[in-house]
Every structure is written in structure tokens, then in C-alpha cells.
A and B are shown apart, each in its own frame.
Chain A
């Protein structure tokens, strides 16, 4: 590439916002973060850190301008900030919805996937690999790869493949290869390990599009920067619509990418309370003997440790073995969480809360039947929290609708069947005769 001058256009400047400086220098967020990876990956990670600095932070070759343009034209940004009238009435507070479910592909995941696939292209890489839990990140990556004409392989746990058939089909439709991962319990953490193995063998021509603000530096800062467009818009939209900042921002947290995306530009606004809602699963108790946590609440119930390239909060037993996590939503079903969120929780800036499977399902049905929006089961956790804790919140709440629920209909039917969800539709006409 001959011209390497940096552009100082307005879009380039946006990535220089103060709330986004954390972790950029050395990948550390207090005691969290870092680069704990096999030596074979270090050169690739250093190359990526360099590319992040040049293209994302300095807008070299107009990278950020192209990214913003593609996010608008291909992705459908900006997404609306919508007032939720019925919920506002129900909770006697102003509830606003940041509609990431309306982004192309149906979830916030495209912000990051498009950014990383485009970056890989600028770096001269020839192949994309990714891992996926709910299939939502895999779908977004497959779409971005098809859009930018890059071959793509996606690793997915066997159990998740069975939970998320529509997304597997979508990935394949977009020309990606989907590789089932059978190790362990066949969920996201095994898929991440498997993708790291592929990367260790192919680093020279392959970019690994990690799906959340997890992994070794520079992934947590880079993914946050790509997702920060959510809070950038939400902040402006709230001010425009209401004349002021929100009192609270609520987002579900698996790895934490929609979470940090929704929080990023509010972190410096001390008046805005930030609530990260984790999957409480069936209970917050853990079974040390069996090595199983029936939840995915690593911020809430985890302890410091090292997994998948970073020091962060993890669900682990006393020996340091990583636990099998659980959630009704496969996208939250992960034993770790982004190091930046772990740090902000320790600092008292982010309030970590957990909502169990039952409450999440109620949230799923409530948003569907009160507002006409079927949320992802991941997102539904944020609405479960709203129902349980609206009295603790201020008068203007923004909830991040991280994704839509089409992918979850099978799972929602099955899970609803298994319990007594008071606000669920009567499905008895389906039993027996289908």
C-alpha cells in the first residue's frame, strides 16, 4: 500500500473519544486483560495490535470512513432509539429501547464482525475463522465475509448446533463452512479453544474474528471500539429525544460486547448507572464436585483467573479448572467475561446483576406481547431485570435490545413448555397433533 496518510475526518475522530482510551496502551484494565496465548500466536496478535492502531485509531487509508459507510449501507445504521410506551406505563418510568435487533442480521454482532472482516482485508489476510455460541456471531461473520468476499470457517459446539439450527443454515447460506466441535460439553468455550487451535496453525494468512470483548489484547479494546457505535448513537439520540442523558443503561452480558458497546460512551457520565445483566441460569449455586455452574454469571459469581488469552473473572473450581456454564440462551452460556467489564465492576462503575432462566423467559414473552418486539433470549435477560428491579431505577432508562428472537423460537417453545410462564401464550393446540 503506497498511501498511508491518516485522515482526520469526523468519523476517524470518533474512535478517539475519552471513554474509549481504557486498555488501549497495553491491553490492561487494572489487574485484568493481557495476552496469555501460545507463543505461535504472539506475532499474529502483535500484527493485529499494530493494524488496530493504524486503521482503527488513526483511520489510515480511510479505514474508519469505509467501516462507517458499510455499517450504514449494508448494516442499516443508525438503529432507532424507540420509546417503549407500554413498558413505560407498566414501570412508571421512561423506557427507551436501543434497537440493535433491527441491525442487518438481527443482532449487534454485525458491528464487530464487519469491522474485523474489513480490517482483515486491509491487513491482506486471505481467510476468516470464527467461533460462535448462539450462532449470532457466526451469522454476522458469515454475512460480513460474504459481503467482503472472504472465505470463512466457523466453529460451533455440537450442542449449540442443535439449539440453533436456523443460524447454522444462515451461515451456510452465506457460504461459510460450519465445523462442529464435539469436545467437552460442545458449547462456546470449547468452540473458542478449537478456533484458537486452527489459528495457531494458520496465523500467517488467517484472521480470527473473535465474537465478544474477550480474548487477548487487542481484541477486548478493538471489539469494544467497533461496538461503541451503540452508545455513541444512544447517547445522542437520548439527548435529542429527551433533552438529557438517561439515568440508567441496561444490557445483557455474556462475553460482554453488546454490554460494553451500550456502556462505552456513558462510562464517563457519572450520573448514568450501568447495569450488566448476566444469565443466572437455574441457580447461582455451583456444583464444585461436578465442575458445573448452572448459570453463566461470571461477573456476579466468578473469580479472577486466566482463560482464552486474558485475565478476567471466570467460573472455575478451586483448582482453577473452568466450569461448564449454563443458560437458557446459548449466547450467554460462557464461563468468562470481558476483562474491561470485570474491571468496571471492581471499580464500582458497573452494577453486575443476574436474572434466572424463568425470569428471562417472562421477559421474552413480555416484550413480545406488550411491545411487538420478539427479543433474543439473551436480550430477554435485560427485560427480566427491568421487571424485577424497575423500582431501583431512575426516571429514564435505556435498554439495549441486543438482538431479535427469530433464531430462538424453537428454544423458546421448548423452554416455555417446560415451565409455568405466566405471560406465555397458550400453546395447547399444538400438543399431540403436529
Chain B
């Protein structure tokens, strides 16, 4: 159920921690230190955001980060160089919008982008504005170059649409914990449990994202049956704080590593409660 062995391995034993950061936020070098801190903090898969000027699926936290990165000169070409230079164990996934994938290279269509991504060590793609209905060309390119194509399942996805997505997905599904755009929230929605129930019959790892920001959230989500947790805005917030408070790169990296530890430990606790259930009450 996947092209990438690294991604399959990331979900093979225990819950996967899948953090997201915007590449180039607030600048190229700091961003590299931040991504490497996530890796030290226990990341199994890292979603690297390649900035697009019209990120319609993002909330304000990530949107502002994308603007910072674009202002600092991030481009697809520099993004690939960044991925190549990274020193991490985690599997790398690129999250971006379809126009950038489509425009890359001389020939029209997604193939040149995917070819370049594979060469840069990217193992998978998440494209929030590409529904399964429009995904055939990208799917083919991903199969050709051994990348996984991750789809986002919303709380509103049901029936035929869900089947079509699950036929096309590989690597893991991104289970959107609640409606709306990305952004850290204080609680984790009931919609998650309901979504996981609906997905139970499909044999692919389920990673839950949107709104996870603490170890306790991570624990509850994994205890609820998730195979992994995706954390974006809470981490991007740490980077934004660093910018606002003019903190050193090391300080921000330490905070990212600490938050990552908290999240992975929470996920582990959730996993233990799941694999060794107490008497059912």
C-alpha cells in the first residue's frame, strides 16, 4: 500500500510523529536548523512546506510563515537544494499546491517536479488543492518515481468520494481532525473519532492532523486509534515567536526539539493505553 519503504517503515512500529514546517521560514539557514531539531525530537516523517502565494487551505499561522519564506526568497529550486542538504533520519514529504507542481520544468504537467523531488530525496507529496478526481497525472508520476501520494480526508468526506480517495492514496492518509483551515486549537475534536471509525476498514496508516498542539492532544488522538499525529501550526507558532521575540536560532531549535519530545511522548502514552487496554469501563 505504498511506494516509499521509508514511509512504510515510519508507521511500522508504534505511532508516527509527523511534524510540518515551512521551508525557508524565516530564512534558509535557520529553517534547516529547525527541521533538524524536529528530527532530533523524534520525527518519523517530516512534511516540508514549499510556499505558494495563494495557500487557500491554510490558516493565518501557516499563511504568514509562507509569506515570510517567500519574502526571504524561497523557490522550488531552493526547496530541492534544501532537501538535499538536510541531515535527518526521518522520511521527507513535500506539501505544496498544485500550480507549483504543474509549472515546474520545461514540459507541462507534474512529471518534471516529481522526478526532481525524487532526486532530492523526497518520499511523498501532499497537495491540499488537488482532489482525487484531478490527480491521475500526478499519481502516475508518483508511481513512476516511487513517491507516495497522500490525500487529506475531511470530516465531510464520505461514500464514493472516500472510496475514490482510498483507491488513490499511498503512504498514509491525512485525517483532518475538524473542518476549517490549519491552525493550533485548544481541544481536539470529536470529529476525529468519527473519521477514524469511518476509515477503519481501509488498510493504510491513518495520521491525524489539524489542531494538535500538546502532548496530551497527541496522547488522546493516538489512544483514539490514530497511527500517527501531524503537527504543523503549533510548531510554526514557535518559529513565529522566535521572529517576534528576536530569539537566536539555537533557542528556537531547542524549543522545537522540546515540543517534539513532548508530542512523541504523548503519542507513546496513547499507544500504550491502546495496546494494553485497562479493564473496559
Seen from chain A, the residues whose Cβ lies within 8 Å of a Cβ on chain B are: 34-40, 42-44, 46, 183-184, 189, 193, 196-197, 200-204, 291, 304-309, 314, 316, 318-322
Contacts and interface: CB of A to CB of B under 8 A. Distances in A.
Interface string B175-206: 01001110000000000000000000000000
Residue among A202, A314, A316, A319 having the largest count of chain B Cβ atoms under 10 Å:
A319
B82 interface: no
B181 A39 contact: no
Interface in B200-256: none
B152 interface: yes
B54 A319 contact: no
A245 B97 CA distance: 45
Interface residues of B, number: 42
Contacts of A36: 98, 129-131, 134
9 contacts: A36-B131, A37-B131, A42-B154, A42-B161, A183-B63, A184-B53, A201-B181, A318-B103, A320-B104
Given A38-B128, A39-B157, A40-B154, A189 B103 contact: no
A39 B53 contact: no
A320 B151 CA distance: 22
A210 to B, nearest CB: 13
Contacts of B172: none
Nearest to A321: B53
Given A36-B129, A306-B129, A307-B99, A43 B54 contact: no
Contacts of B108: 304
Given A200-B180, A308-B56, A320-B102, A34 B154 contact: no
B117 to A, nearest CB: 14
B131 A322 contact: no
Contact of B181 (A197, A204, A320): A197
A42 B52 contact: no
A39 B131 contact: yes
Contacts of A34: 133-134
B157 A42 contact: yes
B99 A197 contact: no
Nearest to A44: B156
Interface in B41-69: 52-59, 63, 67
B91 interface: no
Contacts of B70: 321
B100 A319 contact: yes
Contacts of B56: 37-38, 193, 196-197, 200, 308
A277 to B, nearest CB: 25
Given A36-B131, A36-B134, 6 more contacts: A38-B129, A40-B155, A316-B99, A320-B102, A320-B103, A321-B52
B172 to A, nearest CB: 15
A197 B129 contact: no
B153 A39 contact: yes
B3 interface: no
Interface in B112-143: 128-131, 133-134
Contact of A320 (B58, B59, B63, B100): B100
B30 to A, nearest CB: 22
Contact of B133 (A35, A307, A318, A322): A35
B99 to A, nearest CB: 4
A306 B99 contact: yes
Contacts of A42: 131, 154, 156-157, 161
A322 B102 CA distance: 13
Given A38-B152, A307-B99, A203 B158 contact: no
A306 B134 CA distance: 11
A196 B153 CA distance: 18
A193 B54 contact: yes
A35 B103 CA distance: 18
A43 B155 CA distance: 10
Contact of B179 (A35, A196, A201): A201
Contacts of A197: 56-59, 180-181
A320 B53 CA distance: 9
A36 B130 CA distance: 5
A36 B101 CA distance: 13
